[in-house]
Chain A
Amino acid sequence: MDLILMTLATGIMVGGIYALVALGWVLIYKCSGVLNLAMGEMTLIGAYVSLSFYSMGIPFLASLLIMLVIGFILGILVERIFLDRLIGEPVLTVIMVTVGLSFFFKGTLEFIWGTDTRVFSPPVFSIEPIRFGPIIIGSVYLWSFMAAIILLVVFVCFFKYTRWGLAMQATADDEMAALSLGVSARYVYAAAWAIAFMAAGVGGTLLGNINGLNISVAYLGLLVLPVVVLGGLNSVPGAILGGVIIGVLQNFCGAYLDQFFPGGVKEIAPFAFMAVFLLWKPYGIWGWERIERV
């Protein structure tokens, strides 16, 4: 029983981080219709950037802030340089470009930081686990979860209550109409990428704190795909719920199935689940169902 509870709790907490990254992904998709397959590498870039500053002796929060600034700039640059000229091109073209981007990012990262696993040292979060009755949770999970929750709240408030958030919603809904009302779609796209980059970076930094940092964090970042498929590609609450569900699913598979299928069940399970789920509910939990009216 304790194992179930503990697996559940850890799953929820990791899921919070997935939700954060997925939110960035959904933002790009909602605003500009780009299926971004480079999200995993974006998480990795953010993680390496904050690790580098942290290793220089800059406090963790400060390096996180610096990472946010750099992520913001990188996001705008990527949108300006690569995605801007692809507006109006076929979806497949855009997807291929993001695949290319992911290889480009990966190669650049290995070139700069190498392929060895790196850790945040000294550890940012205390190694001492935290106990809630029978449940024992590593403090890094708990802190990451709290950070993810705070950022999720900030994001959601940003969408709902600021003029920029409103402009993004409007552009996502109907770009032509948004243009006619004085909303600049170009700025909105750039802002979506900047925010997605920042969200991915925070997610990557937190993931890097849990397991150490190497290229595999990018695969964790790619878990946004099952997350958003589950929640619905363009649904913000869907991304949050999907993140938590995938986190829990992954941890349960790791805890219970790994003994039967040793190796990578944990990595595969979300994608297998995604395939099955797509058959059953192709629009996700809260995605827009596009019904053709004749």
Chain B
Amino acid sequence: MGGAAAVQESDVILELKDVAMYFGKVAALAGASLRVRRGEIHSVIGPNGAGKTVMMNCISGLYRPQKGEIHFKGERVNDVRPYERAVRGMSRTFQKVEVFGGMTVLDNIRLGRHIHLKSGILSGSIYAGKTAREEIENRQFIEEEIIDLLEIEHIRHKPVGMLPYGLQKRVELGRALALKPDLLILDEPLAGLNLEETEDMARFVLDVNEDPRWNITCLLVEHDMGVVMDLSHRVFVLNFGNMIMDGTPQEVQNNPEVIKAYLGEEDLYATRR
């Protein structure tokens, strides 16, 4: 935990201060504090029901925590609605894929792009100057960056509902990337994927984080310890709504409390590999 105090303010893209969320009397999240630094992959781990998804929903605005403050890019966003948070540069994927099943892959991704379109009905109908330029830029961005990156060229015109689960997850990631976010929240991107798909997905996450053209800060919720420890710069451990620790993967793996609460027996690190 020692490193967190030394973090410079300007580096922090997302900060949670003592955020708590209750459902009735059950504390799903009992005062979590977290600082995510720009450019890092910050993972959140914990057993099932630890409050990880609740935490993500608080951050993206689907839930409103009863207590605590959430700061995004230095501004308090507690009262900012979810769709406005998306406009400010926060995008997410869901644990249970939420794609527009009736639309094609391309339409799903294009929809993620819509908040960046500036042209109105008038200029849109004339299709000149700014609008045309905007259209071409967006098309290039979608075709060249996202579709190429995710290797979904061959399925771009297929309705997403028809695709296998692994590809749906990929489309969901593509749609989240289309927002060109500063912070990408990934809620169990690997759940339900096979080994090969897991490797691909891990590579995509690493790509968008490290490639200077994207340089997206990632907040990753994941159960696959192998991937978490390999990808993350920092790991945040949650149990029954309480923070156990926040540190580098190395520190987390060596922390006896974490091992007791979550990792279980000493060599559980290897179980999911």
Contact = CB atoms under 8 A, between A and B. Distances in A.
> Do they bind each other?
yes
B127 interface: no
Contact of B62 (A167, A169, A179, A182): A179
Contacts, number: 62
Interface string A172-213: 011011111111110000000000000000000000000000
B99 A181 contact: no
Interface string B63-87: 0000000000000000001111011
A162 B117 CA distance: 12
Contacts of A169: 100, 103
B227 to A, nearest CB: 23
Nearest to B114: A163
Interface residues of A, number: 18
Contacts of A31: none
B151 to A, nearest CB: 22
A177 B87 contact: no
B99 A182 contact: no
Contacts of A224: none
A166 B121 CA distance: 14
B115 interface: yes
B114 A177 contact: no
Contact of A173 (B83, B101, B112, B179): B101
A180 B114 contact: no
A180 B176 contact: yes
Contacts of A170: 100, 111
Given A181-B91, A181-B179, A174 B83 contact: no
B94 interface: yes
Interface string B40-59: 00000000000000000000
Contacts of B111: 166, 170, 181
A166 B114 contact: yes
B179 A182 contact: yes
B192 interface: no
Given A177-B99, A177-B100, A182 B121 contact: no
Contact of B92 (A162, A180, A183, A185): A180
A249 B83 CA distance: 45
Contacts of A176: 62, 94, 98
22 contacts: A163-B114, A166-B114, A169-B103, A170-B100, A170-B111, A174-B101, A176-B62, A176-B98, A177-B94, A179-B62, A179-B82, A180-B60, A180-B82, A180-B91, A180-B94, A181-B83, A181-B111, A181-B114, A182-B87, A183-B83, A184-B81, A185-B83
Interface of B: 60-62, 81-84, 86-87, 91-92, 94, 98-103, 111-112, 114-115, 117, 121, 172, 175-176, 179
Interface of A: 162-163, 166-167, 169-170, 173-174, 176-185
Given A173-B102, A173-B103, 10 more contacts: A162-B121, A163-B114, A174-B98, A176-B62, A177-B172, A179-B62, A179-B82, A182-B83, A183-B83, A184-B83
